[in-house]
Structure 1
Amino acid sequence: MSSEPTRRIVVVRHAKAEWSDADDQERPLAARGRKDAPVAGRWLAGTGIVPDLALVSTSARTRETWKLIVPELPQRPRTVFEDRLYEASLGELIAVLNETSDEVADLLLVGHNPGVHALADALAGEAEADLLPRMNRSGFPASALAVLTLTGSWKGLEHGAARLVALWAPHA
């Protein structure tokens, strides 16, 4: 039996945003996004996962998604709004996660596609039941959440290091 601590990461794609002529980083949530984000929060609360840390992209739509999710949680985790999550590639997302303190057992990340889908897919070396093909068929829609478990340090996080244990998306 491994003495390495078990960690969880919840990967969240921001809720549905409006298309507008505004700067991409300032796009607000659409009505559907404002409806779906609290439902995502209630689903997460139902899993019993209470994140120690939330890393949230600085875009308006990710901040608004988080603002609607967090009241549904049993307690508010420490939240860091991170510029590097906006339009981050898979490598950039892993680099940010590698900087996480090992005192954090459960981490939540709110970001953007295609990066968050690529992150969940790349980390998932294994998956419960049909979750991996289901996630890849769905394309990780707005408000989707993927829960992955892993052992070891955040500094050692790499491709295939986690197990996809839960997946939720609205309207699925």
Structure 2
Amino acid sequence: MTTTYAALLRGINVGGAKKVPMAELRALIEGLGHSGVRTHLQSGQAVFTTDRADEDALAGELSRAVEAGFGFPVDVIVRDHAYLADVVAACPFPAADLEPKQLHVTYFSAPVTPDRFATIDQQAVLPEEFRLGDRVLYLYAPDGLGRSKLAEQLAKPRVNKGIVATTRNWNTVTKLVDLTAP
């Protein structure tokens, strides 16, 4: 049985660093034996189909291939359509009532618990808020991510220690559901 996955590459093509041309990324993924390879935007989303089912193994394989092919390490998270659709369905914020720039999802490589975020004073950053889900964090930032004081705190190494985390805006979150649909 084949499954369609989204690969989320962390920190590529941002501010001129870690340049990965999408055509070359597609070729690299096809070279790993995957099919139906597509990319979305220039910021590190690829969709592919494979008969392999281990998301962590797929992420590790892709990460190693990117480093070998482009000369720098890139963290990768791989998730299937069902998971991505569940993330959208479980959103604790009224996504339909918000501008996409106000809502973001941070995907984690492993489950996280509230104690990881215990040092964040949530009252001090209101009206910004975050909520945890299944290996994700939902971030409501009414003024956008670029001005978010909460996003700054969430990105600190002490919060993300020992785990891969990569954030996408709501438009990208929902587009990945569409792109991975069977």
TM-score (norm 1): 0.31
Q: Greater relative contact order (Cα 8 A, min sep 6): structure 1 or 2?
A: 1
Over alpha carbons, which structure has the higher Rg? 2
